[in-house]
Structure 1
């Protein structure tokens, strides 16, 4: 009885708690239902909007592409801005804050160093100065787009994308200069030469110039574009930080959190793309075929949002970038175009000597000059604001005050590193070029619009329904003279006039081609040379493996069709791996799984298929072999292996079986490359057996090579990562046509990929309604929508959706009506 009474009393005590929990769960359920009902994740119906000139009708086809029908171009761009905000509000907010150096206001200390670097570059300042020089007509169109963005955000009401609630923030005001700033950020993402310059400077602390070229080899073996002994120059002026020399390079790495915080745009191998056009004499239809797949970072939602703009003087469909009022890649009803990164050297670092008596002055060619200075204030969520001074020289902003790697390498009491970059020029009007491209009536007027593209320089491959195919490099690049000075390969002395830029290459001298005799055109970030200008645009071209494979595939048959274009985009034969196969297969690992692994490798030809066990073994072996050769570089290797894949350096060294780089400096013996290979094989098998079990037959490349589309910033939050990120097993490697760049030391799984085809398009110029597209997420940025992720399985398997101006069916309609 006493026990029963106690239970009754306990029940009475718990009853309010149970009731409270029930009420709380009910409130959560009602709130969730109300949120999902109110969230405008698939807008339809009629919206009365202030700021639009006339009614705009938007129909969404079965691929969820909006077809914007407007009576003026300004209304069309207003509607595009409205859709970008409606579908991708959080993505645009992050983009706006990134380009303005204002992430820390909502994300806290974790993003302070990124904000400081972007503020140091002055991205938003440059955008404002450039916008002031834009034509009035373009300013009006950018304003119409910005008005649409702000109207779209306002119309979301209280039920904002969930990211706003998780960060305690709201959509900010979008201005026309935010669009210009985001264009600059795209140029920064596609430019990375300064990272290699800095790495050559870092390596010069303890390597000779000859050895530096062995680690970062020239495009042509043994033929660097400069003969200057830059390592000796740096030592002669006592450039280096006395606390960061060869004696402590192995222990002077940045903390992991510091390295991740400085994960800046650009500077990664493999940021590029493929495109090719095949003329009618080589196609089944007798008209051209055009293909494009840009290789950019995988994000969730994707960087792309597809749309059609139909207004007087404008009828275009294709990939837009939320934040920029134009179709970046796409087609009209007459022609189609595609981009790859030309990757010219448009970024140089300059060593500026600080005056020892007055540190506000630095050494110029004719005497001392004052630093230009400005104050920046960064507000930080949960912490005090931080004020700092940005300095500029005649070359550009000083980055060694804000970038830890630069600060660590040089003696900042005596020197500074300044950053010269074409994109920051006040003459840059690349957004004007995009808008004129969208208004072009034919290829001739399209090429005229390309003259105004400033940065980033792109390889533009085009085709039209009349049967023409054409190529044009479009953008600005400094004039450089082969073997004169440093050719932009390493930081130059800022007080020496010989290293100053001397104008830009005229548009007429940039590489171009129209209807070549061979009947095809292709680019894949390989070396591009103009027939009338033999000097290369950079010293740091990518390996030509992707381009060479594309050429092989084109030449392998006399007639091509749409299906073969799909086959080409799906190709996973790695030509950069083939020179390594002999060493791989002749290795003799001592690991217990060695015999089974060698049996798997026996017939491996370098094809990185998703179900291939041999591909996994090979990539793990190549990874460990690269580490064996170059990990002696200490933190310079550990912090860059991933951004740099060192494949070119590895290929160069194994040509000599007795390369000194193959010797293990920690042993008394002198190892050969075969010895280094055997050790790498053992390390690879040890890692693979630990991760994937002891039966190599059950291994597959797709188990490790996972394509991850990361959300900003929820990918950094363990409990939310699975909800916001998208993952899929993926074929290929860093140098296949169907590229999947390995992350290597940047992540816990070295073989995952976060950079792959961000988009695939194929255009059939015999009937442009047959055109196809796909990218790796979905049109929606709302994580609860099925359209957030619906394209991912199709993309991973190289399947496509139609890209049509006249779709047979539509899913929904949205009408924007003037208030």
Structure 2
């Protein structure tokens, strides 16, 4: 009887449970349907917006580019902010939090070290001070953009992008200073000179300066820009942390210090050679007789895309191109009379200074004329589900002390005696980069465009320009300290902060920056290679990127007497790696003794450096050169582990194999003395072992595109199981770090060493014969709503180097949105 009762109770419980689960499922379906219907991921119709002056019409063309028609520039920028918020709300929110050091409020402990570093730099404080100095008219336009962002977020209602629900957050208030702060973050993203200085300081613990120049060789064909033996200098001043302290620090290290791994996917400081390609041809080099201009900026790939294309039209304003959510301007694009494209110049605008702490007073440091007090402020970071972090940021006459918040900096120096400060142009109160951007959008000639560039401060950019009259130009824009070859340290390694000789004395005037106009060669190009001004022989940095992309662009321009859009497009998609050329003889002569080598030797022998998706040889070569690099430089220990992936060491590898008996080629783990060919043999053995384990023992299954995926990563869900598959965008991609069609591998990711996180963040070609025939492409899509087909609809076309129209007068309108001013 009791058994029957128990069975009856269990049956009732199961029945109730099933009913409850069914009701829960129905509720979830209703909620999902309600969200799907309510989410404003495809806005159209009419919206009343209180911040507008007059009605604005927005037409979205067949490629989802919005065409904004406003009756004032203020309303145009307000509408751009509105569009950024409605299309990219989460991107704006994460950017705002990143720039102000407030990620941990919603993401918890894992972003505290990054927040601490950004707070240490004082990005938001610097932005607020800079904005106060802007001209009144520009301040009003930047504020109008901010008002538009906030209005756009309000217009979304309760059905916010999914990321807000997953993080338990809501859109925060966007201020005008947030736009300035985001421009500073872009400058930080594109500047890594201080990282190179820190690496040289680190190497100075156990290498001579001569050896360091072997690991980080000067630009090809040049000598080091400084003659100072900096490694000796640091040892003489006992800069480095004593060995005993290092061991203790590794055991009892302070939490929340920035590490390399903390920045991956947030900042691009883990990569060298962040830059771009641009080139421009005069009418004598084109079939149409008018200029053609190509641009493809290389940035960390993100989902949604870094860029959002838009067309703004208002009195005195008619511009179309790539906007940055958070910035009130078309950053890259064209008007109806001129077109332009940026590359990163890569100047040395960041110097580290070793500050000597006053032994009698730790609150002071030694200046040229005696002790000075640190400026100090307290910062408080709110951490989700954790107590807040309180810490003190110190600043010297050079800038903020970063060694208190950066793990590697703190580990390398004796922090009882020294601190590391960062001097960086972008933090200057005079920085008014947004003013330059807004004035660029109004330019109607190359001259007026160059005048706008005079206000561009940071990051320094090399700008290719063309106009409908047939003129072309290349102009470097931004500020950089005046340096003189072989005087001082030239910014290659941390300077002694107490010696006046290492201080910056002045910035280069605009007239002494590299500038070219209508050259006799009939073309101009930049790809982050060395670029020297005719009026100033001193280079802007001692750390230029390698010239392989520029050399390849120059060769392709010279292969045809005249070009058209099709040939320009083919150049953008080129995957022949000149960075592989010097290594091919060593690669083809390598003898591994591996059982697979006889079957693949013919593939190796035919390899010409082309990094196409379906190439077996490209995968073998890249795996081989990865192993060769490790053989040569893994003896650097933790320093190599930290840096490999941030930089490829390709310049150093090429430099060493130019001497067949280079001591760096000797495999330090063996008793024998190897030359470079011996190292190459071992590298091929290890490469074939690795390929067999990863991709199977049949080389017919080995393809470059299998290993080399372009990954557009979502912040912050890029590494979270299930969510990563939903939010990231991944696709096989050609190229390597040195091809014109860049696909820069991460290298230090053991699971996916050839995954490309840096590639063309957009491609654009501008036709000055008929600007309406211009074209562009993004790596993901226009939308930031992950459930929208527009979130990733362009990825396949981008990966195969296709383009879509960039016209001010669209042939087709797929939807319309009208913003109406609220009447009172």
Return the TM-score normalized by structure 2. 0.97
Q: Give the counterpart of 2:565 among 562, 566, 577.
A: 562
CA shift for structure 1 position 257: 10
Deviation of the 1:249 alpha carbon = 13
Q: Residue 45 of structure 1 aligns with which residue?
A: 45
CA gap 1:217/1:244 in 2 versus in 1, 3 angstroms: farther
What residue in structure 2 maps to residue 404 of structure 1? 407
Q: Which runs of 5+ in 1 are unaligned?
A: none
Helix, strand or coil: the match of 1:816?
strand
**What's 1:24 paired with?**
24
CA distance in 1, matches of 2:199, 2:631: 19
Report the Cα distance in structure 2 between the residues aligned to 1:243 and 1:308, rounded to whole angstroms.
59
Match of 1:446 in 2: 449
2:575·2:610 contact (CA, 8 Å) conserved in 1?
yes
Give the 3-state SS of the residue equivalent to 2:744 in structure 1. Answer: coil
- Does 1:339 pair with 2:342? yes
Render the CA deviation track for 1:256-309: whole Å, top value 9, x for unaligned: 995422446243213100000011001110011000000000000000000000
CA 284–233 in structure 1, closer or farther in 2 if over 3 Å, else same: same
In 1: Cα distance, 2:532 partner to 2:33 partner: 60
The one of 513, 518, 523 equivalent to 1:515 is 518
Indicate the residue corresponding to 1:227 in structure 2: 227
- Secondary structure (helix, strand or coil) at the match of 1:436 reads helix
User: Any idea what the Cα deviations from partners look like across 1:200-259, whole Å, max 9, x if unmatched?
Assistant: 000000000000110011114571010100000100011001138999999999999954
- Mapped to 1, the partners of 2:101 and 2:600 lie a distance apart of 49
Inter-CA distance 166–199: structure 2 relative to 1 (3 Å threshold): same
**What is the distance in 2 between the residues matched to 1:757 and 1:679?**
34
In the other structure, the counterpart of 2:112 is: 112
- Identify the range of structure 1 (308-317 vs 258-267) with the bigger mean alpha-carbon deviation: 258-267
Q: Is the 8 A contact 2:114 2:258 kept in 1?
A: no
Which residue of the other structure, out of 478, 483, 488, is the alignment partner of 2:486? 483
Distance 1:249 1:48, change over 3 A: closer
For residues 162-203 of structure 1, what are the alpha-carbon distances to aligned partners after superposition, in whole Å with 9 as ceiling and x for unaligned?
A: 000000000000000000000000011011100000000000
Give the drift of 1:597. Answer: 2.7
Provide the rounded CA distance (Å) in 2 between the counterparts of 1:252 and 1:3.
61
1:714 aligned counterpart, secondary structure: coil
Equivalent in the alignment of 1:640: 643
Per the alignment, residue 181 of structure 1 pairs with 181
8 A Cα contact 1:742 1:753, kept in partner: yes
- Output the CA distance in 2 between the equivalents of 1:4 and 1:772: 76
Alpha-carbon RMSD across the aligned residues, in angstroms, is 1.9
Cα distance in 1 for partners of 2:820, 2:122 equals: 39
Deviations 1:542-600 (CA, angstroms, capped at 9, x unpaired): 00000000000000110101100110000000001010000000000122212223221
Cα distance in 2 between the residues matched to 1:795 and 1:75: 33
How has the CA–CA distance of structure 1 residues 25 and 247 changed in structure 2, closer, same or farther, with 3 Å as cutoff? closer
Distance 2:252 2:523 in 1: 50
Residues 288-331 of structure 1 show CA distances to partners (whole Å, capped at 9, x for unaligned) of 10000000000000000000000000000000000000000000
Mapping for residues 381-780 of structure 1, pairs under 5 Å: 381-746=384-749, 748-780=751-783
* 2:197 alignment partner, SS class: helix
Contact 2:366 2:498 in 1 (8 A): yes
* Structure 2 Cα separation of the partners of residues 372 and 2 of structure 1: 80
Classify the secondary structure of the residue corresponding to 1:385. strand
The answer on whether the counterparts of 1:205 and 1:246 sit within 8 Å (CA) in structure 2 is: no
Q: CA deviation at 1:356?
A: 1.1
Equivalent residues in 2 for 1:71-86, closer than 5 Å: 71-86=71-86
* Cα 1:161–1:368 shift into 2, 3 Å: same
Give the corresponding residue for 1:323.
326
* Equivalent-residue separation in structure 2 for 1:244 and 1:736 (angstroms): 45
Task: Tell me the distance in 1 between the aligned counterparts of 2:161 and 2:249.
Answer: 46
Asked if the contact 1:579–1:651 (Cα under 8 Å) also holds between the matched residues in 2, the reply is yes
Q: What is the Cα deviation at residue 792 of structure 1? A: 0.5
Q: Mean alpha-carbon deviation: is it higher for 355-364 or for 255-264?
A: 255-264
SS in structure 2 at match of 1:368: strand
* 2:382 is the counterpart of 1:379: yes
Distance in 1 of aligned mates of 2:39 and 2:235: 61
Query: In structure 2, the residue corresponding to 1:502 is in which secondary structure?
Result: coil
The secondary structure found in structure 1 opposite 2:718 is helix
SS of 1:379's equivalent in the other structure is strand
1:11 to partner: Cα distance: 3.2
Q: 1-side partners of 2:118 and 2:244: how far apart?
A: 26
Looking at structure 2, the residues matched to 9 and 376 of structure 1 have their Cα atoms a distance apart, in angstroms, of: 59
Contact 1:206 1:245 in 2 (8 A): no
Q: After superposition, give the CA deviation of every residue in 1:369-419 in whole Å (9 maximum; x if it has no partner).
A: 110111111000010011111000000000000000100000111000000
- Tell me what 1:131 maps to: 131
**Change beyond 3 A, Cα 1:517–1:244:** farther
* Structure 2 unaligned residues grouped into runs of 5+: none
> What's the offset of the Cα at 1:717?
1.1
The aligned counterpart of 2:299 is 296
Count of paired positions: 819
Structure 1 residues 769-778 or 663-672, which shifts more? 663-672
State yes or no: 1:155 paired with 2:155.
yes
Q: 1:354-378 deviations in whole A, cap 9, x for unaligned?
A: 0111000101001111101111110
Q: What whole-Å deviation, never above 9, does each CA across 1:13-45 have from its counterpart, x for those lacking one?
A: 311000000000000000000000000001100
Q: How many Å separate the matches in 1 of 2:108 and 2:250?
A: 31
**How many Å separate the matches in 2 of 1:470 and 1:257?**
41
TM-score with structure 1 length normalisation?
0.98
Check whether the contact 1:374–1:389 (CA below 8 A) recurs between aligned residues. Answer: yes
- In structure 2, C-alpha distance between the alignment counterparts of 1:380 and 1:65, rounded to whole Å: 38
2:217 maps to 217
Question: What are the superposed Cα offsets for residues 82-129 of structure 1, whole Å, 9 maximum, x if unpaired?
Answer: 010000000000000000000000000100010000000000000001
Contact 1:251 1:635 in 2 (8 A): no
Counterpart Cα distance in 2 of 1:769 and 1:748:
45
| Contact residue 205 and residue 245 of structure 1 kept, 8 A | no
The aligned counterpart of 2:804 is 801
- How far off is 1:808 after superposition? 1.2
The reply to whether residue 265 of structure 1 matches residue 250 of structure 2 is no
2:656 and 2:662 in contact (8 A); partners too: yes
* Bigger Cα displacement from structure 2, 5-14 vs 99-108: 5-14
**What SS class does the counterpart of residue 361 from structure 2 fall into?**
coil
Secondary structure of 1:732's aligned partner: coil
Cα distance between partner residues in 2 of 1:198 and 1:231? 12
Change (3 A) 1:410 1:667: same
CA distance in 1, matches of 2:577, 2:248: 38
Question: What is the deviation of 1:747?
Answer: 5.2
Which whole-Å CA distance do the structure 2 matches of 1:207 and 1:331 have between them? 50
CA distance in 1, matches of 2:22, 2:81: 43
Q: Give the secondary structure class of the aligned counterpart of 1:537.
A: coil
* 3-state SS of paired residue (1:489): coil
Tell me how far apart the structure 2 counterparts of residues 714 and 606 of structure 1 sit (CA, whole Å).
Answer: 35
| 1:244–1:409 Cα contact (<8 Å) kept | no
